[in-house]
Amino acid sequence: MIGTHALASLLTALALAAPHPAAGEPTATASAATARPLAGMVVGIDPGHNGGNFSDPSFINAPVWNGREEEACDTTGTETDGGYTEALFNFNVASYLRALLIREGAKVVMTRRTNEGVGPCIDRRAQILDKARADVAIDIHADGGPAGGRGVAILTPVAGGPNDHVIASSKRFGRILLKRFTTVTGIPISNYDGSGGFAPRDNLAGLNLTTVPKVLIECVNMRNAADAARLVKPSFQRLAAKSMAEAITGFLLSR
């Protein structure tokens, strides 16, 4: 047992020994955990295509192995009827997302850092994020669908070898992402791609070759007038990125 006087002395000694903040001020540890919830985590972002792809057809059309079959290294991507390219939309959203995630403490790995280059090929993009051992990854795209179709679709991996261990986790991330994206942006679930907003795909290198939880989001249909009017605005691109950051954080903190 310990006497009252000795206990008081001990408490005083402890109080003097341990540096502590002024009353009402959060401790450094608590505030860091609150402000940087993704500290120590790695997030992969693949902004689909690249702004220079149209300039080098021989590189872009060269066949690569997508995990099940050969397909072209990449494509130019689609664009709106007004000529706003998918590559630029994808890159802008990715850049806003990267900034948000870094602010939350994550290490962010991008498959491309500008919108002026060519490539990398789709197999290489998957390898970059696999090698980074990303805790979660997102392929950002926008679709070129029928003019009457609109909305967002989440493409999910189908087990085929390399991705076997991340099928369930990718689907869970996809469910969180669809909810956040539709809620934050107001974009409806696709009325032409997949079912209920989800489309399992076994013909995409990014999903076949992934060893980290990953989905591909077709944010909008660039060939639809209503979707196109929104997607070209930086305010919309920021909202899209915000919804993705919320989904990524929600996924990582609920594992």
118-147: contacts with Zn ion (CB under 5 A)? 141
Structure-token pair, residue 111: 């498959």
Give the DSSP letter string of 75-117. Answer: ----B-TT--BHHHHHHHHHHHHHHHHHHTT-EEEES-S-SSS
218 tagged catalytic: yes
Tell the smallest beta-carbon distance from residue 91 to Zn ion (Å): 12
Give the DSSP letter string of 166-217. Answer: GHHHHHHHHHHHHHHHHHHH-PPBPSSSSBTTEEEESS-HHHHS--S-EEEE
Q: Which is nearer to Zn ion, 48 or 174 (CB)?
A: 48
Under the criterion CB under 5 A, does residue 51 sit at the interface with Zn ion? no
Which of 79, 86, 104, 218 is an active site residue? 218
What's at 151, amino acid-wise? G
61-90: contacts with Zn ion (CB under 5 A)? 77
- Residue nearest Zn ion, CB atom distance: 141
Residue 46 zone, left/alpha/beta (φ > 0; ψ -120 to 50; rest): beta
Pairwise CA distance, residues 181 & 249, whole Å: 13
Under the criterion CB under 5 A, does residue 47 sit at the interface with Zn ion? no
Under the criterion CB under 5 A, does residue 157 sit at the interface with Zn ion? no
Tell the smallest beta-carbon distance from residue 139 to Zn ion (Å): 8
List the one residue from 47, 48, 174, 194 that touches Zn ion (CB under 5 A): 48
Under the criterion CB under 5 A, does residue 112 sit at the interface with Zn ion? no
Tell the smallest beta-carbon distance from residue 151 to Zn ion (Å): 16
* Interface residue list for Zn ion (CB under 5 A): 48, 77, 141
